[in-house]
Structure 1
Amino acid sequence: MKNLMIAAVLSLGTMTAFAQEENVAEEAATAVEETATDATEAAEETATEAVATQDDFSEVAAEELPESVTAAVSKNYPTASIDKAYVNEANQYKLEVSLEDGTAGTLYADENGNWIEM
Protein backbone atom coordinates (compact mmCIF):
# COMPACT_ATOMS: atom_id res chain seq x y z
CA MET A 1 0.00 0.00 0.00
CA LYS A 2 2.90 2.29 0.81
CA ASN A 3 4.40 1.66 -2.62
CA LEU A 4 1.09 2.52 -4.27
CA MET A 5 0.95 5.88 -2.48
CA ILE A 6 4.54 6.72 -3.42
CA ALA A 7 3.88 5.80 -7.04
CA ALA A 8 0.77 8.03 -7.08
CA VAL A 9 2.65 11.01 -5.62
CA LEU A 10 5.53 10.60 -8.10
CA SER A 11 3.12 10.30 -11.01
CA LEU A 12 1.27 13.46 -9.98
CA GLY A 13 4.55 15.34 -9.56
CA THR A 14 5.76 14.25 -12.99
CA MET A 15 2.51 15.30 -14.68
CA THR A 16 2.71 18.72 -13.07
CA ALA A 17 6.27 19.19 -14.35
CA PHE A 18 5.21 18.29 -17.91
CA ALA A 19 2.26 20.69 -17.70
CA GLN A 20 4.60 23.53 -16.70
CA GLU A 21 6.92 22.75 -19.62
CA GLU A 22 3.96 22.81 -22.01
CA ASN A 23 2.91 26.25 -20.72
CA VAL A 24 6.44 27.56 -21.24
CA ALA A 25 6.45 26.17 -24.79
CA GLU A 26 3.06 27.79 -25.51
CA GLU A 27 4.30 31.15 -24.17
CA ALA A 28 7.45 30.92 -26.32
CA ALA A 29 5.38 30.11 -29.41
CA THR A 30 3.10 33.07 -28.71
CA ALA A 31 6.11 35.39 -28.33
CA VAL A 32 7.53 34.17 -31.65
CA GLU A 33 4.18 34.75 -33.38
CA GLU A 34 3.96 38.29 -31.96
CA THR A 35 7.51 39.05 -33.12
CA ALA A 36 6.74 37.72 -36.61
CA THR A 37 3.55 39.80 -36.72
CA ASP A 38 5.47 42.93 -35.69
CA ALA A 39 8.10 42.28 -38.36
CA THR A 40 5.40 41.78 -41.00
CA GLU A 41 3.66 45.00 -40.03
CA ALA A 42 6.98 46.90 -40.17
CA ALA A 43 7.70 45.50 -43.63
CA GLU A 44 4.23 46.49 -44.84
CA GLU A 45 4.74 50.04 -43.53
CA THR A 46 8.09 50.27 -45.32
CA ALA A 47 6.55 48.97 -48.55
CA THR A 48 3.75 51.50 -48.24
CA GLU A 49 6.27 54.30 -47.74
CA ALA A 50 8.24 53.15 -50.80
CA VAL A 51 5.11 53.14 -52.94
CA ALA A 52 4.12 56.55 -51.63
CA THR A 53 7.56 57.91 -52.57
CA GLN A 54 7.26 56.64 -56.13
CA ASP A 55 3.70 57.88 -56.45
CA ASP A 56 4.80 61.50 -55.92
CA PHE A 57 5.08 61.85 -59.68
CA SER A 58 2.71 64.14 -61.55
CA GLU A 59 1.86 63.50 -65.18
CA VAL A 60 3.24 65.89 -67.77
CA ALA A 61 2.91 65.99 -71.53
CA ALA A 62 5.73 64.36 -73.48
CA GLU A 63 6.30 67.69 -75.24
CA GLU A 64 7.14 69.29 -71.87
CA LEU A 65 10.08 66.94 -71.23
CA PRO A 66 13.55 68.51 -71.27
CA GLU A 67 15.51 67.99 -74.48
CA SER A 68 18.18 66.09 -72.53
CA VAL A 69 15.63 63.46 -71.43
CA THR A 70 14.13 62.93 -74.89
CA ALA A 71 17.65 62.81 -76.40
CA ALA A 72 18.67 60.12 -73.88
CA VAL A 73 15.64 58.01 -74.81
CA SER A 74 16.35 58.43 -78.53
CA LYS A 75 20.03 57.57 -78.08
CA ASN A 76 19.64 54.50 -75.85
CA TYR A 77 16.28 53.24 -77.14
CA PRO A 78 16.01 54.32 -80.79
CA THR A 79 12.82 52.31 -81.42
CA ALA A 80 11.09 53.52 -78.25
CA SER A 81 8.19 55.91 -78.07
CA ILE A 82 7.25 57.74 -74.87
CA ASP A 83 3.65 56.87 -73.97
CA LYS A 84 3.40 58.78 -70.68
CA ALA A 85 5.73 61.00 -68.71
CA TYR A 86 5.73 62.00 -65.05
CA VAL A 87 7.85 64.38 -62.98
CA ASN A 88 8.42 64.72 -59.23
CA GLU A 89 9.57 67.63 -57.06
CA ALA A 90 13.24 66.64 -57.48
CA ASN A 91 12.90 67.02 -61.29
CA GLN A 92 13.21 63.29 -61.83
CA TYR A 93 11.25 61.86 -64.70
CA LYS A 94 9.34 58.61 -64.89
CA LEU A 95 8.82 57.55 -68.49
CA GLU A 96 6.50 54.82 -69.68
CA VAL A 97 7.86 53.72 -73.03
CA SER A 98 6.98 51.10 -75.61
CA LEU A 99 9.20 49.57 -78.27
CA GLU A 100 8.29 48.70 -81.85
CA ASP A 101 8.29 44.98 -80.98
CA GLY A 102 5.41 45.56 -78.54
CA THR A 103 7.36 45.41 -75.28
CA ALA A 104 6.86 48.17 -72.75
CA GLY A 105 8.70 49.37 -69.69
CA THR A 106 9.35 52.21 -67.31
CA LEU A 107 12.50 54.31 -67.29
CA TYR A 108 13.66 56.89 -64.76
CA ALA A 109 15.88 59.84 -65.63
CA ASP A 110 17.04 63.03 -64.00
CA GLU A 111 16.60 66.44 -65.63
CA ASN A 112 20.01 66.08 -67.34
CA GLY A 113 19.03 62.86 -69.11
CA ASN A 114 21.02 60.56 -66.83
CA TRP A 115 19.35 57.23 -66.04
CA ILE A 116 18.55 56.65 -62.38
CA GLU A 117 17.33 53.64 -60.46
CA MET A 118 14.18 53.97 -58.39
Structure 2
Amino acid sequence: MKKLILSAAIVLGTLSMQAGNTYVKSVAIQSETTQDEYKEVDAVPAAIKTALDNAYPGVKLEKAYVNDKKEYKIEIIVREEKSTVYTDAKGNILKK
Protein backbone atom coordinates (compact mmCIF):
# COMPACT_ATOMS: atom_id res chain seq x y z
CA MET A 1 0.00 0.00 0.00
CA LYS A 2 2.89 2.33 0.81
CA LYS A 3 4.38 1.66 -2.61
CA LEU A 4 1.09 2.57 -4.28
CA ILE A 5 0.79 5.88 -2.43
CA LEU A 6 4.46 6.68 -3.04
CA SER A 7 4.07 5.89 -6.77
CA ALA A 8 0.99 8.09 -7.02
CA ALA A 9 2.81 10.99 -5.29
CA ILE A 10 5.77 10.70 -7.68
CA VAL A 11 3.54 10.60 -10.77
CA LEU A 12 1.49 13.59 -9.62
CA GLY A 13 4.64 15.49 -8.68
CA THR A 14 6.18 15.05 -12.12
CA LEU A 15 2.94 16.04 -13.86
CA SER A 16 2.68 19.27 -11.87
CA MET A 17 6.24 20.26 -12.83
CA GLN A 18 5.40 19.99 -16.53
CA ALA A 19 2.29 22.14 -16.16
CA GLY A 20 4.25 25.30 -15.38
CA ASN A 21 3.46 28.76 -16.66
CA THR A 22 4.27 29.48 -20.26
CA TYR A 23 5.35 32.99 -21.14
CA VAL A 24 4.63 34.27 -24.63
CA LYS A 25 6.52 37.31 -25.75
CA SER A 26 4.59 39.27 -28.33
CA VAL A 27 6.24 41.74 -30.61
CA ALA A 28 4.30 44.57 -32.19
CA ILE A 29 5.55 45.74 -35.54
CA GLN A 30 4.71 49.25 -36.55
CA SER A 31 5.01 50.24 -40.16
CA GLU A 32 4.71 53.63 -41.71
CA THR A 33 3.58 54.26 -45.21
CA THR A 34 4.31 57.48 -46.92
CA GLN A 35 1.77 58.85 -49.28
CA ASP A 36 1.43 61.97 -51.29
CA GLU A 37 -0.54 64.65 -49.58
CA TYR A 38 -4.19 64.63 -50.57
CA LYS A 39 -6.41 67.69 -50.45
CA GLU A 40 -10.19 67.46 -50.19
CA VAL A 41 -12.19 68.38 -53.29
CA ASP A 42 -15.89 69.00 -53.75
CA ALA A 43 -16.36 67.26 -57.11
CA VAL A 44 -14.72 64.45 -59.04
CA PRO A 45 -14.56 64.01 -62.82
CA ALA A 46 -17.46 62.23 -64.51
CA ALA A 47 -15.12 59.42 -65.63
CA ILE A 48 -14.45 58.52 -62.01
CA LYS A 49 -18.14 58.50 -61.13
CA THR A 50 -18.88 56.25 -64.10
CA ALA A 51 -16.03 53.87 -63.24
CA LEU A 52 -17.14 53.60 -59.61
CA ASP A 53 -20.77 53.01 -60.63
CA ASN A 54 -19.66 50.19 -62.95
CA ALA A 55 -17.28 48.63 -60.40
CA TYR A 56 -19.52 49.04 -57.35
CA PRO A 57 -23.24 49.12 -58.12
CA GLY A 58 -25.12 51.30 -55.65
CA VAL A 59 -22.01 53.19 -54.56
CA LYS A 60 -22.28 56.43 -52.56
CA LEU A 61 -19.38 58.88 -52.57
CA GLU A 62 -18.61 60.26 -49.11
CA LYS A 63 -15.45 62.35 -49.57
CA ALA A 64 -12.91 62.83 -52.33
CA TYR A 65 -9.29 63.93 -52.16
CA VAL A 66 -6.73 64.67 -54.88
CA ASN A 67 -2.93 64.92 -54.84
CA ASP A 68 -0.42 66.68 -57.10
CA LYS A 69 -0.24 63.67 -59.44
CA LYS A 70 -4.01 63.94 -60.07
CA GLU A 71 -4.65 60.69 -58.22
CA TYR A 72 -7.91 60.57 -56.32
CA LYS A 73 -8.54 59.03 -52.93
CA ILE A 74 -12.27 58.46 -52.65
CA GLU A 75 -14.13 57.32 -49.56
CA ILE A 76 -17.21 55.36 -50.59
CA ILE A 77 -20.06 53.41 -49.02
CA VAL A 78 -21.20 50.19 -50.68
CA ARG A 79 -24.00 48.22 -49.00
CA GLU A 80 -23.45 50.16 -45.76
CA GLU A 81 -19.71 49.32 -45.66
CA LYS A 82 -17.12 52.08 -45.87
CA SER A 83 -14.14 51.67 -48.17
CA THR A 84 -11.40 53.76 -49.72
CA VAL A 85 -10.65 53.59 -53.44
CA TYR A 86 -7.73 55.15 -55.30
CA THR A 87 -8.22 56.20 -58.92
CA ASP A 88 -6.57 58.37 -61.53
CA ALA A 89 -8.30 61.24 -63.33
CA LYS A 90 -9.48 58.90 -66.12
CA GLY A 91 -11.33 56.62 -63.70
CA ASN A 92 -8.80 53.76 -63.67
CA ILE A 93 -8.77 52.12 -60.24
CA LEU A 94 -5.24 52.08 -58.83
CA LYS A 95 -3.87 49.46 -56.48
CA LYS A 96 -1.78 50.80 -53.63
Report whether the alignment pairs 1:105 with 2:86: no
Deviations 1:30-84 (A, max 9, x none): xxxxxxxxxx8xx75xx2xx24x25x000011xx211111110111111110000
Task: Give the whole-Å Cα distance in 2 for the aligned partners of 1:66 and 1:112.
Answer: 8
Count of aligned pairs: 68
Kindly report the root-mean-square deviation, in angstroms, between the aligned alpha carbons of the 2 structures.
1.8
Choose between structure 1 and 2: higher strand proportion: 2
Aligned to 1:27: none
Report whether the alignment pairs 1:114 with 2:92: yes
What is the TM-score of this pair, normalised by structure 2? 0.64
In the alignment, structure 1 segments of 5+ residues that lack a partner are 1-39
Structure 1 vs Structure 2: percent identity of aligned residues?
A: 28
More relative contact order in 1 or in 2 (CA 8 Å, sep 6+)? 2
- For residues 20-35 of structure 1, the aligned pairs below 5 Å read none
Q: Secondary structure at the match of 1:112?
A: coil
Which amino acid counterpart does residue 68 of structure 1 have in structure 2?
A
> Bigger radius of gyration, 1 or 2?
1
Which amino acid counterpart does residue 117 of structure 1 have in structure 2?
K
* Correspondence for 2:41 among 52, 60, 70: 60
Instruction: Name segments (4+ residues, structure 1) moved above 6 Å.
Output: none
Task: Give the whole-Å Cα distance in 2 for the aligned partners of 1:67 and 1:57.
Answer: 19
